[in-house]
Structure 1
Amino acid sequence: MDTLCSRMLLFLGLAPFMTLAATPPPTHQFTLENGLQVLVREDHRAPLVTSQLWFKVGPADEAPGQTGLSHVLEHMLFKGSSKTCADEASRILESIGAEESAFTYADATSYQQTLAPRYLGVVFELMADLMSTAHLHADDLSTEMAVIREERHLRTDDNVNAAVLEHFSALAHFANSYRTPVIGWMHDLQQVDAGELRHWYESRYAPGNAVLVIVGDVTLAQVQPLAERYFGVLAKRSVPLLPSPVELKVPGERQLTLHREVPAAQLLMAFNVPGLATAKDPRTVHALRLINAILGGANGARLQQKLMFTDRVFNRIDTVYNQMTRGDSLLLLTAELADPPLTDLAGAQARVWAQIDALRTTPPSLEELERARTQLIAQQVYASDSIQQQARQLASYPTIGLPWRLLDDDAETLAKVTPEQIRDAAALWLTRERLGVAHVHKAAANE
């Protein structure tokens, strides 16, 4: 009876999220003759709209010796065009009250503006111009490269945790291009030239290699004529073949030992696993998402409960899994040993393995699975409160070659994962043959 009651309570807790997740707002899709994909999602709760232009290009596409080009291009795009002087586009956006940002991801580069709907045409005109007639002058590049190199110093080279993670990523992604840092390697940032950047721009910023996502207080009837007017006039160009960064079937166990000035010894573990675009069976990916939540990626997860709060092996332990990748992905664990400082990294790793082995051999209880599932669905529901987050979620699917409708089906898909599928996915993917490990020892300041 107690078990039945607990299941009913979990179901009642999950039901509101399932209801909200099952009723997405109206969403429209069309493609311009030049190949630009456009998604429009109506959300009339506030008089705002977000416009996000995503290009399918990132460090995963960069060749050795040319790392950092995608991020450099993001910096350079607003340095003048046929219609604007350097930084004038940003000043125009500021004058109409727009909030703007730009990001470079592993697989994509995104330019985002949030503003009053009546100014959407201004944003379209500016972005259509910048994606087709950006100047990219050598003098501007020289100045901006100094800024980017300093950014790398501050964010990575002088940040011990970021430097450790970058070093480890190059080991964990054993045979695929996700080992390339978004900002690029410093030796490549010393030699970027305007000709390289111009070629990268002209070959990657084609309409057919882009996705435009609009979410907010607009309708299809308002957006489509504006998109045709400003983006439809851009010439159709050939689209580059997008690589799929796929890992070896059996990468083998790898271990890295580092001595750094960290506050306490650190343990990093990464399993090579598929992403949603590379998985032969999508159910595997949804099982991995739930495994991540059960192990360490959500409140009340096993690793935190057992190894932080009960046994006090770690000060901090987290796991993360990003299924939204064009290629294969990682299930990544990062942890810091407890105070007073422990140094037995091998022993700590064995304690983590014990928790993983338990999941590999025994399915989670229905209660634990429902708790993890509820947390994942709740994250999607909370994200829908933000038009920016809605647009990012929608864009993430077509930029890796998948239909956006998978987003609206996500709660229903998660609801079908069984405890046995969790166990089987853990047994298949969380193995030593797919594992990269880093032991980071606390070094003395003068080492």
Structure 2
Amino acid sequence: MNILPSLAESSMRFSDRIEEYTMDNGLKVILIEDNRSPVIVSSIWYRVGSSYEYSGVSGISHVLEHMMFKGTTNTSPGEFSKIIKEAGGSENAFTGRDFTGYYQKIHKDYLELCLKLESDRMSNLVFREDEFKKEVEVVKEERRLRTDDKPVSKVFEKIGLQAFGMKDYGIPIIGTMKDLSSIKISDLKKWYKNYYVPNNATLILAGNFESSNAKLLIKKYYGNYDKKKILDYSNNYTHKISFNAISVKDKVSDPLILLSFKNKSFNASDKKEIYAMELLLELMDGGLSSRFTKNLIDENKIALNTFISYDSYSRKDGLITLGGSPRKGVSAKDLKMAFLNEFTVFIKNGLKENELTNTKSRLLANKIYEFDSVFYQAMQVGMLETKNFDWHLLDEYVDDINAITEIDLINAARKIVSSSYIYSSIEPES
């Protein structure tokens, strides 16, 4: 059954308005035309993030992201941001497990300005010792605020390390305080020279531009950079997951429990199975009409709140984490069993009337609403391409979700109830 009308689906279908090509130097270029407003999003994505790091330099990708705003041979520290702001635009950057990205949102008349500035810092970054030291301290403070002072973030970091060790998705994106204190400017230069090269990057333009003009400008500013050999610095040791429970006391107002299940990486050949898991988790915790909300929070009053953390498009093996806080008088064990029981009951009794249709509609409506944004289009295409997944997955997504059946969801639920998990609990300090 087709849940959403074709007009609504069209915002997620790119085949008729995406053009892609690869330059001689290996730079992948993706052009997404959307002329509804006079705005462009210019972004570049590098295939490097925390999952490419190793113990001793964790956080280096994020530190380098900060240094990218500290000047080149042609610009002074902070000048990049100042120029974009004066042109009426906005810009930012982000580091993830699998990528580091930079973008500008600006009037279409300033496309060339964005390409000129961004291409400059691909090759001409200047590493000033004083700026480096300042940015390391800034990142350390970020770590204190985002991780060390946040009990849930600290436990998620523990879970990642217990599941994967200091490799792949176990490495904290922000880095460890020990590694941040020991990273040298020579390490940063090595990282930059290895990963910030055209054949390790994807340039994405989305919005209101003329394709022919954009291609000429891209060739003008990126065409002279050479393709380079990229070395793999990541860890290659084998880590055995530990399912030992994690129990901590910290500055929380309510207890919190987490159940973390290992989840395999995305593979297009297994996408039906992966999307079935995504839809199952939407069924369980996808809003006010989800099963966790109705059964655990509203009716049985077992939980104060619930959440699920999950990434369908995982380049490496990842985690599915169920979480929530028990109500006063409800034990952590009771909430844990209630979580698992929701999956067991679903396996036994299946779907309620209209539940499959409603869950698909909710999931797809949220996705399609997000895709109305040119910025979100660029971010989703960039995320997939930089993880080495094909953006055509977005074209196929609505049909793939519509094809999922009740038995597909039951099979996904069976994987949850039959899998081992890391149990974590956070109790308020006495």
The question of a shared fold, defined as TM-score above 0.5 by the shorter chain, is answered with: yes
Q: Distance in 2 between matches of 1:254 and 1:64?
A: 22
Q: Per-residue displacement from partner, 1:360-380 (whole Å, max 9, x unpaired)? A: 445434622222211221122
**Structure 2 unaligned spans of 5+:** none
Amino acid at match of 1:367: N
Could you tell me how far 1:273 is from its partner in structure 2?
Answer: 1.3
In structure 2, what is the equivalent of residue 436 of structure 1? 422
Q: Determine if contact 2:3/2:361 at 8 Å carries over to the other structure.
A: no
Question: What TM-score, normalized by structure 1, do the two folds share?
Answer: 0.90
Counterpart of 1:381 (choices 360, 368, 372) is 368
Aligned pairs for 1:219-368 (under 5 A) are 219-241=210-232, 251=241, 253-277=243-267, 281-338=270-327, 341-342=328-329, 344-365=331-352, 367-368=354-355
Could you tell me how far 1:71 is from its partner in structure 2?
Answer: 0.3
Distance 1:313 1:16, change over 3 A: farther
Amino acid at match of 1:37: K
Q: Distance in 1 between matches of 2:65 and 2:393?
A: 28
Counterpart of 1:74 (choices 51, 65, 72) is 65
Aligned pairs for 1:28-427 (under 5 A) are 28-173=19-164, 176-241=167-232, 251=241, 253-277=243-267, 281-338=270-327, 341-342=328-329, 344-365=331-352, 367-427=354-414
Q: Identity over the aligned pairs, expressed in percent?
A: 26
Q: Distance in 1 between matches of 2:331 and 2:3?
A: 44
Q: Distance in 2 between matches of 1:244 and 1:194?
A: 21
Q: Distance in 2 between matches of 1:253 and 1:415?
A: 35
In structure 2, what is the equivalent of residue 27 of structure 1? 18
Could you tell me how far 1:243 is from its partner in structure 2?
Answer: 6.5
Could you tell me how far 1:325 is from its partner in structure 2?
Answer: 2.1
Q: Per-residue displacement from partner, 1:291-338 (whole Å, max 9, x unpaired)? A: 110111344111111000111111110113211221122222121122
Could you tell me how far 1:406 is from its partner in structure 2?
Answer: 1.1
Give the alignment's Cα RMSD to 1 decimal: 2.4
Could you tell me how far 1:160 is from its partner in structure 2?
Answer: 2.5
**Structure 1 unaligned spans of 5+:** 1-6
Could you tell me how far 1:197 is from its partner in structure 2?
Answer: 0.5
Distance 1:350 1:126, change over 3 A: same
SS of the aligned residue for 1:417 comes to: coil
SS of the aligned residue for 1:44 comes to: coil
Q: Per-residue displacement from partner, 1:255-282 (whole Å, max 9, x unpaired)? A: 21111121111011111112324x7511
Q: Distance in 2 between matches of 1:65 and 1:174?
A: 13
Distance 1:15 1:234, change over 3 A: closer
Q: Distance in 2 between matches of 1:245 and 1:323?
A: 24
Q: Distance in 2 between matches of 1:70 and 1:323?
A: 23
Distance 1:246 1:119, change over 3 A: farther
SS of the aligned residue for 1:134 comes to: coil
Could you tell me how far 1:174 is from its partner in structure 2?
Answer: 5.8
Q: Determine if contact 1:103/1:109 at 8 Å carries over to the other structure.
A: yes
Q: Distance in 1 between matches of 2:425 and 2:147?
A: 19
Q: Determine if contact 1:59/1:68 at 8 Å carries over to the other structure.
A: yes
